[in-house]
Structure 1
């Protein structure tokens, strides 16, 4: 039986939401940040692919999700206890948001890939300390 493209997309989105919810339940604060990194990297991959296709609707949708996750990452920083490291990460997240906004406006996959590379390095380091 063929499921139309919109029904398949809806089913896939439901599965992804259930998968994300199950990963979040009972996760430690460290693991929650790791999940945010994983989600923002996947979202930026999808945004870059949409930009390459010229699909401005999907670029905007993925951009909004990436910006939301970046806000969550910055909001998770403990500026008092984190000191200089937290300040540096906040600067990186703000720059990532700025570049993500610019990439979305310009529908520029190359800029999205640059943002992803910035965050991938941090995500890899985060996983290594976990």
Structure 2
């Protein structure tokens, strides 16, 4: 086997291993942990978008922002239960909508400030969410 084939096979194997690890983490996670994972994923995508934006890599910046938007809209926003969550869920929904608009503006105008603001808002919510988990685990 050539060195290139070996490296490609290793890369595929490592990718499969990582997917299994992620899938295992998701399968064993509580609903609270799943939301934390969504926040982590969105923040990671925003950090990647920032790096691509600074490097002038427009296509990869767009992919990273799209990933963050997908997580915010189809993960965090979709997970809200307005019947049980009431006003808090509605306010979070409005906040997630605002974060989405910031991410779209960041992508459209290469606006790092909008990207930073979206990341900070998600971090504020995520840190509160993590604190709820710590308090719940102790209580």
**TM category, shorter:** 0.7 to 0.9
- Structure 1: stretches of 5+ with no match in the other structure: none
**Root-mean-square deviation (Å):** 2.3
Question: How many equivalent pairs are there?
Answer: 128
Whole-Å Cα distance in 1 between the matches of residues 101 and 116 of structure 2? 14
Residue 87 in structure 1 maps to residue 94 in structure 2: no
State the TM-score, normalizing by the size of structure 1.
0.86
- Paired position in structure 2 for 1:113: 116
Structure 1 residue runs of 4 or more that deviate by more than 6 Å after TM superposition: 6-12
Q: Which has the higher contact order (CA 8 A, sep 6+)?
A: 1
Whole-Å Cα distance in 1 between the matches of residues 56 and 11 of structure 2? 19
- Paired position in structure 2 for 1:127: 130
- Structure 2: stretches of 5+ with no match in the other structure: 134-139
State the TM-score, normalizing by the size of structure 2.
0.81
**Which structure would you say has the larger Rg?**
2
> Is the Cα contact below 8 Å between 1:48 and 1:108 reproduced in 2?
no
